[in-house]
Each structure stands twice: as structure tokens, then as C-alpha cells.
């Protein structure tokens, strides 16, 4: 049973119920296309041997290899976050559509879904807005070569 | 053909370097960075749609708490993407810069000529009995000159090549090191290849400024690859032509061990001790270092340090004023010869402490013996050995033994000054020795006038300037003034005085 405050909150969240379908589709399409674009982007690897046989060249190679791995991870992470945004908006639109927000019973039914939407958005934000690129944990690639 | 070390090093640097691939990777990374920025822009565009709606806002956007949450999230994401795009572009620029320098270095190295060392000139073997004709001699001279010119040209070209190679390796190192921070900005982790901070090490184990890689982080792409470091190990792990063993260019040379100061050498053959008594051992300062080697001339009177041997041998300075009185006793005798007050001073100074220690007794004997030598013979006071130093210290007593004439007393005093001065400079150039010299000289001069001054001279000889203040106040001040003077004066005075003695 929702309290009056909860009802007010859900009502507030569900504001925009009258958002046009085309707008929702436009936003989700934008997010999805960009997500796909990020996934398809290939970051060219740089191996440890790209910079010759000196010590400092080797040092640069190791760091470049780490940077490459984190960049690849970051692109995947950002693509996932955009898709999560899109899914959240879809869910939000589906849950609030055809709900007038006047009955307490309906509000109670939608509350869990709205909480899920909020969680999705928060997760996507945290995923894409972290200061570090990638997962922040470098894992050495298999010993297959210099990555060239 | 033998390449110079710098060129070989440059080749090692360039071995396996993929400048074209690095350049392409740089372009790609820049492109990826741009994609991130474009995505950030698209996200902001989506936020605008959420807020304002489509079609110039005619259809209206979303509003309410959920819309606000979305807008804030989009803004945070787009800002972060922009930042990461910038970092990626920076990494791409670093890769391109590195590729450019590598390519230029490769071009430069390829343009370096393969220098062939010319054969050394060898003179023809002369046929015995057949002298070479002038034409032959001239021809050989021309050959030799040509060979020398060829060798000089080779050396110059090689030096130039080596300098160019060294310059390129420096450029490569610089661009490599400059490119690491952009990579760190991307991966955001500590550099596993960061050499540990150099710790001041002992000369026997110089620290290595650059290590090939952090221990425990082998090359991920080639685990079996040997160490790539430059510290005297093989630097090219992959198959890269001829194996190159590279010396560590940055390893500091083993610091030279500081030259051990030479043990003071007496310029004059030390004379055997006239008194076969073992030299008393005084506690020596463990930090006392041998002083500079000087001659008897005693010109080095600056920068001297305290030498307990020189200072103690005469009168046991270490024992303080009481033992100093032993010499005072000796000079007390001198004072007695010079005057009654000197006798009183001698008794006063020498009565109590004379029996203490082993050193007090000896200076008396040695001084008594060296008195004659100290008065007229410089070497006796300047030999520099322990015994001679004792003799020099005893020379003040010689003044006492002298008949009290001013000339002889001055002579003795100056001899003492010389002896003590020599001991001071030779032993450690100690202040004590210096003070002994001056005080001794002064005491001798004073001994001519009164016994009291003689005793002050004894104190000066025994315990330095402090004891030398036993004279009258005016003379004490004068003595202080003289102390501030360099001791060549003593020598000058010596030379002046000596004729007087003879006279």
C-alpha cells in the first residue's frame, strides 16, 4: 500500500505520460545507433614490440598495450550504457503508457517497474561516467605476439 | 666493417620498431577519440530531445522526476565521453609522434655509410745491405702520408656517425618517455615498467636509473623473451638480425674511490730516538686524519687540524694544565736561568704535575738533551718524528738550559717554534701544534727578559695559546696579535736572529 507521498512520487515520475511515441522512438534509436557504433569501433592494438628494442621503447609498448585494452573495454562499456539508457526509456514508456496515474492500485503496480527504470538509468550513468577507462584492471593478453 | 657503439645502439633501438603500424594505430586512436566525442554530442542531442521534444518543441518533451534523472545522467555520460575521447586522441598523437621519430631515425640510420677502416700503413722491410734510394724513400713517405690521411678521414667520419647515432637514440628515448604519460592517462593504472626510485647506493652497488621492466611483469606478448634491458643484457628478444649485446648507456660509472690521503711523509730522514724510551701512547682521535704532507719549511699553516701527537708529545696537553706544567717545569728552569721570577714560575708550574703520567718525565730528559740541538740545530727540532717532535717540544727547555742570554733564548725559542710548527703541520697541521709553535717562540723571546715569560713560553709550548697567556697583559695582547699572523714571521725572525746568535 503506497502512502500519499509515494503516490505523489510515482505520479511525478510518471509525468510525461503524454510524451509522443515518436519522441520515445527517436531517443531510443539515437542511443541504440550510437551504441552499435561504439561496439563496431575497432581500436587498433599496439604491441610491446612496436617501438623497437630499447628499454624505453619497451616501456612505451607495455603502456600502449594497456591503454589499448582499456580503450577497447571502454568502448564496450559505453555501448552497453547507451543501450541500457535506451532500455530504461523503453521500459519507462511501456510502464507509464495507458496509465492515468489516478488510481492507487495502478500506482502500486507500476512502482516496481519504475524502480527498475531508475536503477537502469543509474547503472548506465555510473558505467559511462566513471573517470577511469575500461574496467580499471589490466589483464595481460595471451602471448600471441605484439598485437600488430 | 665494425659499427661504433652508438650506431650499434641505435640499431638495437630500431630493431623491430614498427613505425608505420604505430602511425596507423595513432590515426585509429584519434578516430576512436573522435567517435567518443561524437557520441557525447549525440547524447547531448538526445537530452535536448528529452527536454524540449522534437519538432522545435511543438510536441513537447518529457518532464518530471524521471526526465530530470535522465537529463542528468546523459549530461554526466556525455561529459565523461568527451574527456575519454580527448585522452584517446592524446594517445593517438603520441603514437604518431613516436612513429615519426622512429621513421626519421630509421632513415638517418639507413643513410649512414658503412665505414671501412683503412688498413694501417706498414713500412716495407728493408733489404739488408741495400739502402733505399731517395725515390723509394719519397714514395714510401707519400704512401705513409696517404695512409694517415685515410685513417684520419675514417676516424672523423666515424666520430661524426657516432655523434649522429647518439643524437637519434636520445631523441628516441625522449619521445618514448614523453609518450608514456598519455598512455597512462588512458589506462589509468600505475606504470608497471616504472623503475623504482633510485636510492643512494654505495659505490660498490650503483643504482640502475632505468630498469628494463618491473620484476614480475614479463612481456605479455612474449613470455619467453629474455630481458630487454640495457643493463648489459641482450636487448632484442625477438629475432632481429645479429645479436647485439648492449652496454648499459645510463649506468653510472663506478665512482672512483676517493684518493686516500697520503700518509704524511717526513721529508727528512727521521733520526733514531736518542732516548730509547718507548714513546708513550696517547689516546688518538679516531677521526683524526693524516694531514697534508709538507716540508720542513712549514709554509702550510692553513687548514690545519688538531694533532694530539704533536700537541701532546712535548708536554702532555691532553692532561690539561697540570701536565702542561711539566714543560713549564722545564721552562721554569729556563726561567730560573733568566731570572728569579722565572724560577718562581717554574716552581709553581712544575712542582705538582711533573710526576704524573709517563710523558712528563720524558720531555724533561729529551728536552735536556735536545736543548743544545734545539738552540743551534734546526734539524733537531724539525725532523718530524715522534722523538724529534718531542725534541722540538723540549726545545723550550733548551731555552731554559741556555745561559739566559737574549740571543740564545730567542734562538731556542725560534727553534722550538720551528719544531713545533713542523710537528703541527706534519702531524696534522693542528691548531695545537701551531699554537705551540707560536707560543714557544714567544716564550723564548720572553725568556730573555724574565723567567716568568719563560714559563709562559713553556706553557705555550706545552699546551698551546691558552697556556701561552701567562705573560704580562701587554705582551699577551701582543702575542695575540702575533698569533694572528702567519708563521712565516717566525721563520723570518729566525733568519734575523741567527746572525745575532753567532754574533
Q: Label residues A86-121 b or e (16+ Cβ within 10 Å = b).
A: bbbbbbbbebbeeeebeeeeebeebbeebeebbebb
Q: How far is A103 from chain B (nearest CA, A)?
A: 19
B87 contacts on A by Cβ (under 8 Å): 133
Q: 3-state class of B7 per DSSP?
A: helix
| Residues A34, B39: C-beta atoms closer than 8 Å | yes
Q: How far is B160 from chain A (nearest CA, A)?
A: 22
CA dist A73 and A77 (Å) reads 6
Q: Using one digit for the tens of pLDDT, what is the confidence trace for B174-183? A: 999 999 999 9
- Residue A103 at interface with chain B, using a CB cutoff of 8 Å: no
Question: Among A38, A21, A34, which Cα is nearest to B54's?
Answer: A21
* pLDDT confidence of residue A91: 85
**What residues have CB less than 8 Å from A4, skipping those under 6 apart?**
none
Instruction: Report ipTM for this prediction.
Output: 0.82
Positive or negative, the Cα torsion across B221, B225, B226, B230? negative
Q: 3-state class of B234 per DSSP?
A: strand
Q: Label residues B105-129 b or e (16+ Cβ within 10 Å = b).
A: bbebbeebeebeebeeeeeeeeeee
Q: How many CA within 13 A on the CB side of residue B242?
A: 8
Which residues of chain A carry a pLDDT beneath 50? Answer: 145-148
* pLDDT confidence of residue B323: 38
Least CB-CB distance to B73: which of A22, A71, A124? A124
pTM of the model: 0.51
**What residues have CB less than 8 Å from B260, skipping those under 6 apart?**
none
Which residues of chain B carry a pLDDT beneath 70? Answer: 1, 54-61, 63, 200-503
Q: Which of residues 114-143 of A touch B (CB under 8 A)?
A: 114, 117-118, 121-122, 124-125, 128-134, 136, 138, 140-141, 143
Q: Which of residues 20-79 of B touch A (CB under 8 A)?
A: 21-22, 24-25, 28-29, 32, 35-36, 39, 42-43, 45-46, 49-50, 53-54, 59-67, 69-70, 72-74, 76-77, 79
- Structure letter (DSSP) for residue B261: P
- Residue B168 at interface with chain A, using a CB cutoff of 8 Å: no
* pLDDT confidence of residue A55: 93
Chain B interface test: which of A18, A63, A73, A130 (most B C-beta within 10 Å): A63
3-state helix, strand, coil in chain A (%, to 5): 65, 0, 35
| Residues A52, B50: C-beta atoms closer than 8 Å | no
- Residue A109 at interface with chain B, using a CB cutoff of 8 Å: no
* pLDDT confidence of residue B104: 96
Q: Which of residues 171-200 of B touch A (CB under 8 A)?
A: 172-173, 176-177, 179-180, 182-184, 186-189, 191-193
* pLDDT confidence of residue A137: 66
B21 contacts on A by Cβ (under 8 Å): 46, 50, 148
Question: Do the Cβ atoms of B308 and B435 come closer than 8 Å?
Answer: no
Least CB-CB distance to A20: which of B13, B42, B59? B59
CA dist B395 and B405 (Å) reads 15
Q: Using one digit for the tens of pLDDT, what is the confidence trace for A13-41? A: 555 555 677 888 888 899 999 999 999 99
* pLDDT confidence of residue B367: 43
Strand ranges in B256-409 using DSSP code E only, listed in sequence order: none
Amino acid at each position: 500500500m503506497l502512502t500519499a507521498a509515494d503516490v505523489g512520487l510515482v505520479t511525478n515520475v510518471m509525468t510525461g505520460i503524454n510524451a509522443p511515441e515518436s519522441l520515445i522512438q527517436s531517443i531510443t534509436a539515437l542511443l541504440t545507433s550510437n551504441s552499435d557504433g561504439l561496439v563496431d569501433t575497432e581500436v587498433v592494438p599496439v604491441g610491446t614490440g612496436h617501438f623497437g628494442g630499447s628499454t624505453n621503447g619497451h616501456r612505451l609498448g607495455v603502456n600502449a598495450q594497456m591503454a589499448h585494452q582499456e580503450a577497447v573495454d571502454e568502448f564496450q562499456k559505453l555501448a552497453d550504457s547507451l543501450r541500457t539508457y535506451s532500455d530504461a526509456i523503453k521500459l519507462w514508456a511501456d510502464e507509464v503508457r495507458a496509465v492515468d496515474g489516478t488510481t492507487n492500485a495502478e500506482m502500486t503496480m507500476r512502482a516496481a517497474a519504475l524502480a527498475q527504470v531508475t536503477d537502469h538509468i543509474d547503472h548506465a550513468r555510473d558505467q559511462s561516467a566513471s573517470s577511469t577507462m575500461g574496467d580499471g584492471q589490466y589483464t595481460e593478453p595471451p602471448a600471441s605476439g605484439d598485437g600488430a | 666493417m665494425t659499427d661504433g657503439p652508438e650506431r650499434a645502439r641505435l640499431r638495437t633501438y630500431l630493431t623491430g620498431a614498427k613505425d608505420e603500424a604505430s602511425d596507423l594505430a595513432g590515426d585509429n586512436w584519434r578516430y576512436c577519440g573522435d567517435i567518443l566525442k561524437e557520441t557525447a554530442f549525440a547524447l547531448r542531442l538526445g537530452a535536448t530531445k528529452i527536454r524540449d521534444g522534437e519538432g522545435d518543441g511543438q510536441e513537447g518533451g518529457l518532464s518530471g522526476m524521471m526526465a530530470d534523472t535522465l537529463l542528468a545522467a546523459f549530461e554526466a555520460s556525455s561529459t565523461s565521453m568527451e574527456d575519454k575521447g580527448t585522452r584517446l586522441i592524446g594517445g593517438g598523437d603520441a603514437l604518431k609522434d613516436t612513429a615519426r621519430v622512429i621513421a626519421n631515425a630509421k632513415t638517418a640510420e639507413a643513410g649512414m655509410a658503412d665505414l671501412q677502416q683503412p688498413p694501417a700503413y706498414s713500412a716495407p722491410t728493408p733489404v739488408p745491405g741495400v739502402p733505399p734510394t731517395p725515390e723509394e724513400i719519397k714514395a714510401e713517405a707519400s704512401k705513409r702520408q696517404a695512409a694517415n690521411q685515410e685513417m684520419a678521414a675514417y676516424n672523423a667520419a666515424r666520430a661524426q656517425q657516432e655523434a649522429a647515432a647518439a643524437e637519434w637514440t636520445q631523441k628516441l628515448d625522449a619521445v618514448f618517455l614523453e609518450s608514456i604519460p598519455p598512455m597512462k592517462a588512458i589506462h589509468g593504472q600505475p606504470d608497471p615498467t616504472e623503475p623504482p626510485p633510485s636510492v643512494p647506493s654505495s659505490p660498490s652497488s650503483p643504482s640502475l636509473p632505468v630498469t628494463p621492466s618491473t620484476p614480475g611483469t614479463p612481456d605479455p606478448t612474449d613470455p619467453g623473451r629474455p630481458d630487454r634491458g640495457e643493463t648489459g643484457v641482450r636487448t632484442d628478444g625477438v629475432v632481429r638480425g645479429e645479436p647485439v649485446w648492449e652496454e648499459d648507456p645510463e649506468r653510472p660509472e663506478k665512482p672512483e674511490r676517493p684518493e686516500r690521503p697520503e700518509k704524511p711523509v717526513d721529508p727528512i730522514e727521521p733520526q733514531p730516538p736518542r732516548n730509547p724510551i718507548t714513546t708513550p701512547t696517547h689516546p688518538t682521535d679516531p677521526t683524526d686524519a693524516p694531514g697534508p704532507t709538507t716540508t720542513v719549511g712549514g709554509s702550510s699553516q692553513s687548514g690545519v687540524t688538531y694533532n694530539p701527537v704533536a700537541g701532546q708529545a712535548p708536554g702532555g696537553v691532553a692532561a690539561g694544565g697540570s701536565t702542561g706544567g711539566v714543560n713549564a717545569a722545564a721552562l721554569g728552569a729556563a726561567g730560573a736561568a733568566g731570572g728569579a721570577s722565572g724560577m718562581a714560575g717554574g716552581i709553581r708550574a712544575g712542582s705538582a704535575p711533573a710526576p704524573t703520567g709517563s710523558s712528563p718525565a720524558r720531555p724533561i730528559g729529551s728536552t735536556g738533551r735536545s736543548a743544545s740541538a734545539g738552540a743551534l740545530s734546526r734539524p733537531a727540532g724539525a725532523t718530524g718524528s715522534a722523538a724529534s717532535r718531542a725534541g722540538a717540544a723540549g726545545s723550550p727547555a733548551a731555552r731554559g738550559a741556555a745561559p739566559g742570554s737574549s740571543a740564545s733564548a730567542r734562538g731556542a725559542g725560534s727553534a722550538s717554534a720551528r719544531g713545533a710548527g713542523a710537528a703541527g703541520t706534519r702531524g696534522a697541521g693542528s691548531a695545537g701544534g701551531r699554537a705551540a709553535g707560536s707560543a714557544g717562540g714567544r716564550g723564548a723571546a720572553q725568556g730573555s727578559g724574565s723567567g716568568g715569560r719563560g714559563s709562559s713560553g713553556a706553557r705555550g709550548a706545552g699546551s698551546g695559546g691558552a697556556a701561552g697567556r701567562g705573560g704580562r697583559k701587554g705582551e699577551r695582547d701582543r702575542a695575540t696579535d702575533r698569533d694572528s699572523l702567519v708563521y712565516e714571521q717566525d721563520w723570518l725572525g729566525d733568519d734575523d736572529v741567527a746572525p745575532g746568535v753567532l754574533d
